[in-house]
Structure 1
């Protein structure tokens, strides 16, 4: 997990309103990180918060004080960091899109009344297979993310320190997001399954902490055993919830990706002058 610093920026930077605004965005994101679990609602909220942060960063990078601080220090390191973050965002977008396509195909199969049980099982297996591929991709991405975290160093420049702290906080968010999409480790499947198959009244509060990806995964494992109409309907409902969550993730990641590109372009413009 990324360790973020709680100190404010040096005095000269804090004198500018935009620097203060950046710091406020960072403080809110830190507080959100500490106060909430990595649930679907909190991740969607954080994506919106990061969009606001990067919008503010783009404005801050237009300031003369930013140009002065960035003129000759850590250029390659900052550019590499921004590129790695874009790669992480792109990976998350691809995984979400692949899951969406697999979920849509499975949902269509479940809705077709004339389709046979074997065809439904086949579509379920395809979805499970796509999830396994996604988890392998996530595992690799999380390994690359740890490399980014280790490379994060302290700089005497206030602007460079700010950008590196933003990089660290962004890495932490992507770690939470990718872990949420991946779902629980194999050893925790039993406890999650028990949670989801208790009576609805008994597990209502606890089930709120189980995200939409996990619910579909567990339901499909049960479907492979029982193949009942009740499980079929349950999966359809959970796929609808997953579809809504994926749409939120798609929109949030796309907007954040564009904001991050703008920030990188602003950084390139400064460092190539």
Structure 2
């Protein structure tokens, strides 16, 4: 089993489930997925590969959690818990995660649309003044920044309110659900960071961006750049204004678009799994 690497941001929440050796194999498998995600919390890079790795790990974790919730022993264990001791906290947590993941999914879809519209404009207009095309993208980006800023605030609020206090140390299923909710937050934050960088709305401008890209070029050989996707787009637009060829810019934009699309597809799957988990929890509460 992987060893957890403490993340200062979430260190106050770190706690082992300490499942008994007789736990159901599905619960043990879920804990293994959980520990793998915990071990990646210390990595704060905004690279595409790391964001994909974390999000795919979250997808696997929720697939396993849903299987756990379908077990009669899990449903019985949760039903035996005294009413009111866990429903509000766990259900509130599931709703928060669903809202944040939904907002993040919408941000990715809108970013993908704006990048593809920009690519289409550049293909149609091979030469000449491209100010109108760039201006259209920047208008879309302004709206994106508002969405990103709101999502960041919701993530911070969720992190602050997330409580990993153990309701019943003997209820492994309940403890598992709560730990899964806690570990989901830094994963979603890393996916947002790949798109927007560490601080939404505070991206560098002009040739400082170009310099940043050139400095990272050597380091990124053999792997993807740690420059956030929106920053990569702005770099290419700046180069376009400096008479960089449309063809070169289009090639770079296609790479960014491919990265965004890959994460958007997994985000959609995770969103549906979060919804499925919430429905399962509501069914247990109501029966």
TM class by shorter chain equals 0.7 to 0.9
Contact 2:17 2:175 in 1 (8 A): no
**1:28-107 maps to which residues of 2 (within 5 A)?**
28-35=36-43, 37-71=45-79, 72=83, 73-107=85-119
Distance of 1:35 and 1:199 partners within structure 2: 18
Contact 2:216 2:225 in 1 (8 A): no
Match of 2:28 in 1: 20
Structure 1 residue runs without a partner (length 5+)? none
Contact 2:58 2:187 in 1 (8 A): no
Match of 1:176 in 2: 190
Distance of 1:18 and 1:199 partners within structure 2: 42
How big is each residue's C-alpha offset from its partner over 1:109-168, in whole Å with a ceiling of 9 and x where there is no partner? 111246741xx3212122122222212212211211222222222123233222121111
Contact 2:134 2:237 in 1 (8 A): yes
Contact 1:109 1:115 in 2 (8 A): no
| Greater helix fraction, Structure 1 or Structure 2 | 1
Change beyond 3 A, Cα 1:187–1:51: closer
Contact 1:82 1:264 in 2 (8 A): yes
- CA apart distance, 1:29: 1.0
TM-score (norm 2): 0.82
Alignment size in residue pairs: 266
- CA apart distance, 1:207: 7.2
Distance of 2:44 and 2:256 partners within structure 1: 21
Give secondary structure in 2 for the equivalent of 1:33: coil
Distance of 1:58 and 1:198 partners within structure 2: 44
How big is each residue's C-alpha offset from its partner over 1:174-207, in whole Å with a ceiling of 9 and x where there is no partner? 111112211354365565431324696x565497
Give secondary structure in 2 for the equivalent of 1:249: helix
Change beyond 3 A, Cα 1:95–1:21: same
